[in-house]
Chain A
Amino acid sequence: MSELIKKAAALLESKSVQVVIGYGKGTGNRTRTIFATQVTECENLIFDSRCVQNLAVYLTKLEIKKLGKPAIVAPVPVLRSILQLAVENQITESDLVILGITSESELIDFESFAAIETFLTTHKIEIEEKYTKTIDAIKAMPVAERFAYWVKELESCFKCYACRGACPLCYCTRCTVDDNQPQWISVASHPLGNLEWHIMRAMHLAGRCTDCEACYNACPMGIPIHLLTKSMLQDVADNFGSYGPSLDKQNTLSSFKPDDKESFIR
């Protein structure tokens, strides 16, 4: 990606940004995030299929904001997160420079958030068939078996909150689980707290999640928590039409229609 390096270096050189957030080489076969503040550091920028972290997570972090105006390397999942953050008024256009990368690994510039939205209309969120099949299979289980399945899956969670840390939309500076007056969710790694934590996490992302799978990629135990958010995306589509961020649409749970349909309220 010599083009990407050139572009990033030019941005730093001209002082239009103070830091470039991008992917660099990590240990082993892994990649890590790098924050280039010097032109020479831009040489370390890479981009390939291993770059799965969602860099948009850094845009709302105070430590990164202190570095100055950022340019951010943004493949499609990151673009979706940036648009969602814009919908939620967390970032403005003058806050950042976007180094977009298409799914064909070509560089693309975006003048505005509206341009991102136009681009994303041809790159809609699609839940892969292997996931829809798994979700359908889980939903087809008898209710007690389904419960046992999830209690077992969540058993290995020890609440490191990496899923929260990796998610660009979990940007609250104070999270419910960090409070102990009252202690909503037990910090111990026991089934009830694990269950409650994952329900809360999924509910707080309801109608906001852009399906980047950063939570699943970050989980050290490989718990399929992305199935919960994917299943909720399906629910959003089934009940409220469509999912995915849009600048002229409020979040699903921040808005309502008087004629919303349901079948379970008496």
Chain B
Amino acid sequence: MTEFEPKIIAFVCNWCTYAGADLTGTSRIKYAQNVKIIRFPCTGRIDFMLLLKSFGEGADGIIVSGCHPNDCHYTSGNFHARRRWIMFRGLLDMLGIDVRRIQYSWVSAAEGFKWADIVNSTVNTIRELGPYTEYEKVAGYLEKEANQ
């Protein structure tokens, strides 16, 4: 049996973390290949439904990252996002969706090393937690019915 490779989706903002991840690449820093990056205009645009959809489509972990507080390109998008994440995380915790599978971070355009570190540590965390079978079981219900 091959070792479990976590599938991780990263939702990042265009202005800071995406540029930061770019810097990681141009600096030739190696990091885990498990992450698929989706670029957004701002963390304020990252709807909580998108995170749910990632789990529903089989992601094992999620990274959400944007500009540090006070650095938002749109001045306050990340402040709004932060409040939303606080509420969303509380709700997920109440519902028993494993909050350890979603890593939130601030990564600026200058923090190439930090981005590599965030990805690597998240991959390690998810590797320890294993595949998200509980959610997959719930999500797989429709397919099963279609096959019957």
Report which A residues bind B (CB closer than 8 A).
135, 138-139, 141, 143-151, 176, 184, 186, 188, 190-192, 195-196, 199-200, 202-203, 206-207, 227-228, 231-232, 235-236, 239-240, 252-253, 255-258, 260, 262, 264-266
Additional A-B contact list (6), CB under 8 Å, known A184-B49, A256-B82, A257-B79: A199-B92, A199-B95, A228-B95, A262-B86, A265-B85, A265-B105
- Say yes or no: A266-B87 contact (C-beta < 8 A), given A199-B52, A256-B76, A256-B79: no
Contact A252–B87 (Cβ < 8 Å): yes
Residues of B within 8 A of A200 (CB): 48-49
Contact A195–B138 (Cβ < 8 Å): yes
Closest-CB distance, A257 to chain B (whole angstroms):
8
Contact B138–A231 (Cβ < 8 Å): no
Point out which of A138, A227, A235, A266 has the most chain B C-beta atoms below 10 A from its C-beta. A266
Closest-CB distance, A237 to chain B (whole angstroms):
11
Interface residue ranges of B91-108 to A (CB < 8 Å): 91-99, 103-106
Contact B49–A265 (Cβ < 8 Å): no
Interface residue ranges of B63-88 to A (CB < 8 Å): 69-70, 76, 79-80, 82-88
- Say yes or no: A258-B106 contact (C-beta < 8 A), given A141-B96, A192-B138, A239-B86: no
Contact of B93 among A139, A149, A191, A203 (CB under 8 A): A139
Contact B142–A188 (Cβ < 8 Å): yes
Q: Main SS of the interface on chain A?
A: helix
What mask results when residues 116 to 134 of chain B are scored 1 for a CB within 8 Å of chain A, else 0?
0010000000000000001
The verdict on B39 contacting chain A, using a C-beta distance below 8 Å, is no
Q: Main SS of the interface on chain B?
A: helix
Contact A143–B96 (Cβ < 8 Å): yes
CB closest residue in chain B, given A262: B86
Between A and B, 23 residue pairs with Cβ closer than 8 Å are A147-B134, A147-B135, A184-B49, A192-B141, A192-B142, A196-B56, A199-B48, A199-B95, A202-B91, A203-B87, A206-B84, A206-B87, A227-B94, A231-B90, A239-B90, A240-B83, A256-B80, A257-B79, A260-B79, A260-B82, A262-B82, A262-B86, A266-B103
**A105-B93 Cα distance, complex, nearest whole Å:** 39
**A139-B96 Cα distance, complex, nearest whole Å:** 8
**A188-B145 Cα distance, complex, nearest whole Å:** 12
Contact B95–A258 (Cβ < 8 Å): no
**A139-B93 Cα distance, complex, nearest whole Å:** 8
Residues of B within 8 A of A227 (CB): 94
Closest-CB distance, B59 to chain A (whole angstroms):
14
Closest-CB distance, B144 to chain A (whole angstroms):
10
**A202-B91 Cα distance, complex, nearest whole Å:** 8
Contact of B139 among A135, A192, A240 (CB under 8 A): A192
CB closest residue in chain A, given B122: A266
- Say yes or no: A146-B134 contact (C-beta < 8 A), given A192-B139, A253-B87: no
